[in-house]
Amino acid sequence: MPHSSSRLLLIFKLSRYVINSWARKSGFTFRQAVIGYLFASVFLFSAAFVAVLIFLPVSDDNFFFSPLFATPLLLTLFLGGSFFGLLTLSLVRSVSRSFVSLTHLPIETRLLTFSLSLPIIVLSLTPMVCLSPIFVRVISVSFGRSIFFSLLLISLVWLTALACGHSLFLVFSLLERPSHPTFLVPFLSIASWLMLASASIWSFHRIAREHLDSDVLHRFYFLLWPAFISAASSESVVTPLVALAALLGLCVFDWFLFGSPALLLSYKSPVTHIRVPFSLRGRLLPFRLETIRLLRNDSILSWLASAVLISSALLVLMAQSNHATRSEIAPSIAFFIPQMVAYPALFARGLSQRERPYPLLVGFSPFQWSYSLLAAAFTISLLCGIPFLAGSAVLSGQLLLLPLGVIVIVWVTSIAGIIGFVLMPNQKNAGGELVGFVLTLLVTTTGGMLVSYLTGSQNDLLIVASLGGIGLAISWIPGYIETRRWNVTTGISVSSRFYNR
């Protein structure tokens, strides 16, 4: 049994090994990755701080400092945190294969699993920590509590949420059998998460209905559950001491979940056995090839299955709402569905080798291949998203939402494609997956806000059309990145110089 200080050193060294491996798979050095991470964290924290100072001034009539806003904010944190819990544990499982050789060393399996998951824990907690000034400020002023208590409350909500997500994923991992397809665990976990989310929202819904008028509801439409707000939590019975104890308990519980040996043992190949009835013969060979590859990858299938499940739930939610609420939430849903279904573009490049992708070895040009890859990802996203976009358009009576949603898919695909070509996330590069996921979400959302601000327009059509135009205009970038990378591999720029000697 190693000494406690040597255990800490071992955890540190193994975690460093994981980060190094991710950095190299994304084409960066360890130092560049760490500096990039620190820079991004400081930037995000500063932005949150500035947002608090500039955009959230305290005043009696400020809507952002009312329990009506703070309560659904906590609910959102909980639902987002539990979803993030599923995602991070799924990433730990996917990364375990890369380090399976380490299990032959005389290291406790729990210690090893924890060391491998530590970078994922840190990465997944970073956005939450960086954005904490906003959450703390809103909760503190809204409920008239101290900053310390607000911080405790937020940490409690977030850690409980993570623990819920982790527990769901772990339970299904333990129940898994070798004959089950790989995407079953994430799919079942998401389905359970949806049930958890429905139960949470329903409990708020009952209280909120009695307290809210329709005017306030309008201001909540971007949170997707405008009718589920409660003012009830202002009478909190949680004392700081109890909160602190609960927080420590949750930390220990999460440590156990993250360090579960079941994660190391439950890895399976991400290539699915599901047969796609699609032939290579015919026109557009590289497009056909990449479509088949994407549809046979379990990571992408599980992502799409989850997107379909959540989109279905949103449509059910819409169908259950009254007409006025449907009209209010429909634009948000039309923006949210493309955000989910367009992620195959992020993972597509990671399916091939970094320097010598097989399609280029057999003679496709980097540009041709990159465009085919993006087109394949876009087509799959489109086929996945259109039924739900159409459903939301019909339910809300706003048929324009369908083409607008398609344009948003173009926008998200382009951004996800560029990030995917740079980071190349795959099952051995879980850091790339997590960073890519967060980055795509951040860039697409802030891009939308920026365009809205720059055009000074409230017209959704103009904003979305601008985003689509930008998406199309930047779609050449993945091809350019790939061409540069391939030229470095083959030395094409130096060879022409020497050949003509």
Partner 1 sequence: MNRRAEECDLEIMLSSGASPSVEARDLVVRLGSFTLGPLSLSIPPSEIVCFLGPNGAGKTTLLRALTGLTPRVDGTISVLDCDPATRSKSMLRYIGIIADDPSDLIEELTARELWQLHAIIYSRIEGSCDEMLDRADQLAEAFHFVPPDAPIATYSYGMKKKTQIIAALLQTPTLIVADEPRNGLDPFGIKTLESLLSDEAERGATVIVASHDIYWAERLSDRVGVLIRGKLLAYDPPQAICLHSESLAQAFFRLTESP
* Residues in touch with partner 1 (CB under 8 A): 269-273, 280-281, 285, 289, 292-293, 296-297, 351-353, 356, 358-359, 361-363, 488-492, 494-496, 498-499, 501
List beta partners, residue 297.
271
Closest to partner 1 by CB, 13 vs 273, is 273
Taking phi over 0 as left and psi of -120 to 50 as alpha, with beta for the rest, 27 belongs to left
Rg of the chain's alpha carbons, rounded to an integer?
24
271: DSSP letter: B
334 and 389 in contact (C-beta within 8 Å)?
yes
Least distance between partner 1 and beta carbon 36 (Å): 23
Closest to partner 1 by CB, 315 vs 348, is 348
Least distance between partner 1 and beta carbon 361 (Å): 7
Closest to partner 1 by CB, 249 vs 491, is 491
Burial class, 440, CB count within 10 angstroms (exposed 0-12 / middle 13-18 / buried 19+): buried
Quickly count: other Cβ atoms within 10 Å of residue 479's Cβ: 21
User: What residues have CB less than 8 Å from 420, skipping those under 6 apart?
Assistant: 345, 346, 347, 348, 349, 350, 436, 478
Least distance between partner 1 and beta carbon 483 (Å): 13
The pair of structure tokens assigned to 210 is 């009695």
Cα–Cα dist 466/203, whole Å: 39
Least distance between partner 1 and beta carbon 152 (Å): 47
Least distance between partner 1 and beta carbon 379 (Å): 16
Closest to partner 1 by CB, 291 vs 339, is 291
Cα–Cα dist 32/426, whole Å: 20
Least distance between partner 1 and beta carbon 296 (Å): 4
Closest to partner 1 by CB, 76 vs 368, is 368
Least distance between partner 1 and beta carbon 369 (Å): 12
Single-letter amino acid, residue 191? A
Cα–Cα dist 94/381, whole Å: 23
Least distance between partner 1 and beta carbon 283 (Å): 11
Cα–Cα dist 123/431, whole Å: 8
Cα–Cα dist 481/357, whole Å: 13
412: phi then psi, degrees, rounded to nearest 5: -65, -40
The pair of structure tokens assigned to 204 is 């708020």
Least distance between partner 1 and beta carbon 423 (Å): 20
Closest to partner 1 by CB, 198 vs 368, is 368
User: What residues have CB less than 8 Å from 410, skipping those under 6 apart?
Assistant: 378, 468, 471, 472
Closest to partner 1 by CB, 450 vs 492, is 492
- Which of 324, 307, 125 is CA-nearest to residue 218? 324
Closest to partner 1 by CB, 96 vs 140, is 96
The pair of structure tokens assigned to 111 is 């210690």
Cα–Cα dist 299/294, whole Å: 9
Closest to partner 1 by CB, 90 vs 426, is 426
Least distance between partner 1 and beta carbon 380 (Å): 14
CA distances from 452 to 117, 407, 445, 462 (A): 39, 15, 11, 9
Closest to partner 1 by CB, 27 vs 403, is 27
